[in-house]
């Protein structure tokens, strides 16, 4: 017999539900009263996270690039250079980057030995990761494979190719934190001029609203095509902001949140907390 474990309303149109028969879980995505997706699995936290990601694929009408710019002007009148944004949009990420550079600068992290436990301070400087991800990555960094993960993340930062992404994925396997969010967190802090933090629910929603193919390309598996599509979304977004250019991808990530925050649950994120 199936038991309802809870429901979350994401906006006026979309909701997600989680059911269990005691041994496995079924997740439902509902839009406008109609079931639009169904997921199955044996790990409650994984299914719940996948539900949020899947619900982002079923967001509301696309706003287009003009709508994106209008939303930015409405929610951030001073733009990226404004004092309010500088105080609440960039400072947390800059503090996290400073913590990381202090204990594990990129040039040392590529050959990390004994640096991993200290790097956890950079993860706790923001609320970008979900609680369960933060707990898992803390255990990883303090464990025997911590430096392996740190080295893999640093080498992917320097050379974001298929071999380095494969090693990064391997370093996270079996640790309970094999998500794109964990994988991209450190590269994003080390090199925000190139790398971007992948928060699926937010960026899939944003991509669907501006009509970018990342909305369809996203997959929770570590396929190179997923991250390449996200980097293309960053490039295209930057080109659409000629009147208010972002300083780096810290600003681009904030824009993704600003556009999506009315449509995606941002509980447990830095942008929501700030």
Stated as kind and residue range, the H or E segment containing 224 is helix 224-239
- 138-152 mean pLDDT: 96
**What global pTM score does this model have?**
0.77
* Helix H or strand E segment including 14: strand 14-20
pLDDT (average), residues 250-256: 94
Token code pair at residue 53: 């990601």
> What number is the average pLDDT over the span 194-209?
93
Residue 128 structure tokens: 């970008």
Question: Does residue 50 sit in the same domain as residue 92?
Answer: no
The reply to whether 147 and 13 lie within a common domain is: no
Q: Check whether residue 156 and residue 248 sit in a common domain.
A: yes
Q: How many domains does the structure of the chain reveal?
A: 2
* Mean per-residue pLDDT over the chain, rounded: 88
Cβ partners under 8 Å of residue 240, min gap 6? 65, 68, 69, 210
Q: Is the Cβ–Cβ distance between 19 and 4 less than 8 Å? A: yes
Residues 138 and 220 in one domain: yes
Same domain, residue pair 39 and 90: no
Residues 182 and 203 in one domain: yes
pLDDT number for residue 86:
73
So what's the pLDDT on residue 49? 79
pLDDT for the residue numbered 267 = 40
Give the separation between CA 171 and CA 150, rounded to whole angstroms: 9
Q: Give pLDDT tens digits for 5-40.
A: 888 886 667 888 999 998 899 999 998 888 989 999
> Which of 22, 40, 56 marks a domain boundary?
56
pLDDT surpassing 70 at residue 85: yes
Report the distance separating Cα 72 and Cα 64, nearest Å: 12
Tell me the two tokens of residue 216: 């369809």
CA distance readout (Å), 85 to 74, 88, 91, 202, 251: 13, 5, 9, 19, 9
In angstroms, rounded to a whole number, what is the distance separating the alpha carbons of residues 101 and 24?
A: 42
Token pair, residue 218, equals 């996203």
Closest listed residue to residue 97, CA positions, set 271, 255, 249, 241: 249
31 shares a domain with 89: no
Domain boundary among 23, 40, 56: 56
Q: Give, for 7, the enclosing helix (H) or strand (E).
A: strand 3-9
- 45 and 73 co-located in one domain: no
Q: Are residues 157 and 248 in the same domain?
A: yes
Instruction: Please give the average per-residue pLDDT across 221-241, as a whole number.
Output: 97
Whether 58 shows a pLDDT value over 50: the answer reads yes
Q: Do 95 and 173 sit in the same domain of this protein? A: yes
Contacts of 157 (CB under 8 A, 6+ apart): 106, 186, 187, 190, 191, 195
CA-to-CA dists, residue 150 to 109, 126, 193, 226, angstroms: 6, 18, 20, 22
Lowest mean pLDDT among 43-52, 55-64, 246-255: 55-64
How far apart (Å, rounded) are the C-alpha atoms in residues 62 and 65?
Answer: 9
Q: What are phi and psi of 196, to 5 degrees?
A: -140, 145
What is the Cα–Cα distance from 15 to 121, expressed in whole angstroms?
34
Q: Which two tokens stand for residue 179?
A: 């998500």
Task: Specify which of 32-46, 181-195, 244-258 reaches the highest per-range mean pLDDT.
Answer: 181-195
The distance in angstroms from the start CA to the end CA of the chain is 42
Least confident of 54-68, 100-114, 148-162, 220-234: 54-68
Query: Residue 56 above 60 pLDDT?
Result: yes
For residue 88, pLDDT beyond 80: no
**112 touches 151 (CB < 8 A):** yes
36 and 114 share one domain = no
| In the predicted structure, residue 268 carries a pLDDT above the cut 50 | no
For 25, the domain range is 3-56
Judgement on whether residues 209 and 259 belong to the same structural domain of the protein = yes
Instruction: Please state, in angstroms and rounded to a whole number, the distance separating the CA atoms of residues 206 and 214.
Output: 9
Residue 61 has pLDDT above 70, yes or no: no
């Amino acid at each position: 017999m199936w038991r309802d474990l809870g429901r979350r309303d994401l906006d006026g149109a979309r909701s997600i539900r989680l059911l269990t028969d005691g041994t496995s879980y079924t997740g439902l995505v509902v839009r406008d009263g109609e079931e639009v997706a169904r997921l199955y699995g044996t790990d409650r936290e994984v299914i719940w996270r996948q539900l949020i990601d899947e619900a982002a694929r079923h967001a509301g009408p696309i706003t287009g690039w003009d709508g994106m710019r209008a939303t930015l002007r409405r929610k951030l009148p001073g733009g990226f250079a404004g004092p309010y944004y500088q105080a609440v949009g960039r400072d947390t990420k800059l503090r996290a980057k400073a913590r990381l550079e202090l204990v594990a600068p990129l040039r040392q992290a590529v050959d990390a030995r004994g640096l991993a436990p200290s790097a956890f301070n950079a993860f706790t400087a923001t609320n970008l990761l979900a609680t369960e991800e933060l707990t898992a990555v803390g255990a990883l960094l303090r464990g025997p494979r911590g430096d392996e993960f740190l080295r893999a993340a640093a080498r992917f930062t320097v050379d974001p190719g298929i071999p380095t992404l494969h090693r990064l994925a391997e370093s996270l396997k079996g640790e309970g934190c094999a998500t794109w969010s964990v994988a991209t967190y450190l590269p994003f802090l080390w090199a925000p001029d190139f790398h971007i933090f992948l928060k699926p629910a937010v960026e899939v929603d944003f991509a669907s609203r501006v009509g970018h193919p990342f909305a369809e390309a996203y997959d929770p598996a570590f396929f190179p095509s997923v991250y390449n599509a996200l980097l293309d979304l960053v490039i295209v977004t930057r080109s659409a902001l000629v009147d208010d250019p972002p300083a780096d991808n810290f600003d681009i990530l904030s824009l993704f949140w600003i556009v999506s925050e009315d449509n995606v649950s941002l509980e447990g994120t830095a942008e929501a907390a700030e």
